[in-house]
């Protein structure tokens, strides 16, 4: 009941935002567009260059009414509180960079423009599917149907892949060869992953084949490769599918790595050596993590490689992180704001952004124009992005993960519950605490 109150209170604030007046008045004949962003210093500098370039281009083509963009930096962790405050003080920005998880509640709260009215649907096929899909949000209408709108465009995307310690693989070369495995590459399927892990694993020496997290987001690589689905719309209702056979098989495989095969180090337990630090220390041979760790691993001197998430019954896949740019309904000039966002996701800008920063472009045509000689790991991440999948597009995703699914997965890992019982319990709570509100 308390969670339901929090859910509804959040939407009262967001709906209030819908009725606000824009924060920045046009100064005479100058149109001003305010952007809130939370990039790091290097990203911010590149972003401002892109903004000023768009200004110059736009104003040269539209000299009668010049446009000026005000770029305001907001601390990442302080963005949501600032948005709530700005809604109440009528100072919301025109454009805002938000985490992909926050687009959904803003869309359900009717705070954002559906960018389809400006032609966003024409961009869908050009963009990385996992990145744009986090913006295509189905919302139940008063007549019981569901309509999907495009409530943002991706500005930054990432995923996770398999990292492996080449030194450990070389040390276990004989065992790997005896098992018919190539010590110079990572496993390509989950079946191979078990074989590699058994050949590498030496807990008596303090070396484990694998280390993992226990959270839903970090478990998506397992769920997705087994073809599991979480939420779908059927017979006029949102339903959960987290306890269907594919999801049960995926979580069972993950649990088996620890409980059956003993190749996972228990890094998910409180007080255990974290997977990234254990990877650096040579204690864990393989982990799943993201591009944000590449620089740290290189600086540590570890010899590592990257590979796609091993394929399961549904092929290779992974999770999706990143941020999206949204336009608030308080924006007085949404067409101009949208024109800027379209420019931001153009091939030209994405090639520039990615080559400057070593990041994954959000437009598919830019992939083969990225200089991977400077950032060699980027090629694996770009390939993984082609099959990565966005998280469930529901307003209370944080509650679904933190309060419902994570604790139930923990009971399966500890053996307190079977995998099936844990996911059945999670499904019941998702239906009663999350979907019942969405289905009203």
Is it the case that residue 418 has pLDDT exceeding 50? Answer: yes
pLDDT digits (tens, 9 = 90+) for 203-243: 999 999 999 999 999 999 999 999 999 999 888 889 999 99
Is the pLDDT at 179 greater than 70? The verdict is yes
DSSP state at residue 215 = S
Does the pLDDT value for residue 19 go beyond 70?
Answer: no
Mean pLDDT is highest, among 69-83, 138-152, 318-332, for 318-332
pLDDT confidence of residue 2: 38
Task: Decide yes or no: CATH 3.40.190.10 for domain 161-319+396-438.
Answer: yes
> For residue 395, what pLDDT is reported?
86
- 235 vs 231: CA distance, rounded Å: 13
Instruction: Decide if pLDDT at 18 tops 50.
Output: no
Lowest mean pLDDT among 24-33, 107-116, 154-163, 200-209: 24-33
Q: Which residues of 52-91 are buried (b: 16+ CB within 10 A; e: fewer)?
A: eebbeebbeeeeeeebebebeebeeeebbebbeebbeeeb
Question: Is 70 exceeded by the pLDDT of residue 11?
Answer: no
**pLDDT tens digits, one per residue of 233-273:** 888 889 999 999 999 999 999 999 999 999 999 999 999 99
The pLDDT value recorded for residue 28 is 55
Residue, of 350 and 65, whose pLDDT is higher: 350
Spans of all domains in the chain: 12-157+321-385, 161-319+396-438
CATH number of this structure's domain 12-157+321-385: 3.40.190.10
Q: What percent of the chain has pLDDT over 90?
A: 80
Q: Are 419 and 412 in contact (CB under 8 A)?
A: yes
- Pair 365, 126: CB distance under 8 Å: yes
Tokens coding 251: 């979580």
pLDDT greater than 50 at residue 125: yes
Q: Tell me, yes or no, if the two domains 12-157+321-385 and 161-319+396-438 fold the same way.
A: yes
- What tokens does 252 get? 């069972």
Q: pLDDT digits over 72-107, tens only?
A: 999 888 888 888 888 777 788 999 999 999 999 899
For position 298, what pLDDT does the model report? 95
């Amino acid at each position: 009941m308390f969670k339901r109150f929090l859910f509804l209170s959040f939407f009262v604030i967001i709906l209030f935002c819908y009725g606000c007046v824009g924060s920045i008045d046009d100064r005479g004949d100058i149109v001003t567009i305010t952007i809130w962003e939370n990039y790091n210093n290097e990203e911010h500098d590149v972003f401002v260059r892109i903004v000023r370039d768009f200004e110059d281009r736009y104003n040269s083509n539209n000299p009668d009414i010049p446009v000026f963009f005000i770029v305001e930096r907001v601390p990442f962790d302080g963005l949501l509180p600032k948005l709530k405050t700005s809604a109440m003080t009528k100072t919301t920005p025109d454009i805002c960079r938000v985490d992909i998880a926050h687009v959904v509640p803003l869309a359900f709260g009717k705070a954002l423009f559906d960018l389809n009215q400006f032609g966003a649907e024409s961009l869908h096929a050009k963009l990385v599917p996992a990145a744009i899909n986090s913006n295509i949000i189905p919302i139940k209408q008063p007549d019981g149907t569901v309509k999907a709108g495009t409530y943002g465009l991706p500005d930054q995307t990432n995923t996770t892949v398999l990292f492996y310690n080449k030194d450990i693989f070389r040390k276990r070369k004989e065992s790997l060869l005896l098992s018919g495995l190539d010590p110079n590459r990572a496993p390509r399927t989950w079946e191979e992953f078990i074989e590699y892990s058994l050949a590498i694993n030496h807990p008596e020496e303090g070396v484990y084949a694998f280390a993992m997290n226990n959270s839903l987001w970090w478990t998506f690589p397992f769920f997705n490769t087994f073809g599991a689905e979480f939420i779908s719309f059927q017979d006029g209702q949102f339903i959960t599918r987290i306890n269907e056979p594919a999801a049960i098989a995926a979580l069972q495989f993950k649990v088996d790595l620890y409980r059956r095969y003993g190749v996972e180090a228990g890094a998910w337990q409180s007080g255990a050596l974290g997977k990234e630090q254990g990877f650096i220390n040579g204690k864990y041979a393989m982990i799943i993590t993201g591009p944000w760790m590449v620089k740290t691993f290189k600086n540590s001197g570890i010899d590592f490689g990257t590979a796609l998430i091993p394929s399961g019954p549904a092929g290779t896949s992974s999770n999706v992180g990143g941020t999206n740019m949204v336009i608030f309904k308080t924006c007085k000039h949404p067409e101009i704001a949208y024109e800027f966002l379209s420019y931001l996701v153009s091939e030209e800008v994405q090639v520039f952004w990615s080559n400057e920063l070593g990041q994954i472009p959000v437009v598919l045509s830019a992939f083969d124009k990225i200089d991977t000689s400077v950032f060699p790991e980027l090629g694996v991440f770009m390939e993984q992005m082609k099959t990565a999948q966005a998280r469930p597009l529901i307003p209370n995703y944080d509650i679904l993960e933190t309060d419902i699914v994570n604790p139930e997965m923990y009971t399966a890992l500890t053996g307190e519950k079977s995998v099936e019982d844990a996911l059945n319990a999670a499904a019941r709570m998702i239906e009663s605490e999350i979907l019942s509100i969405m289905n009203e």
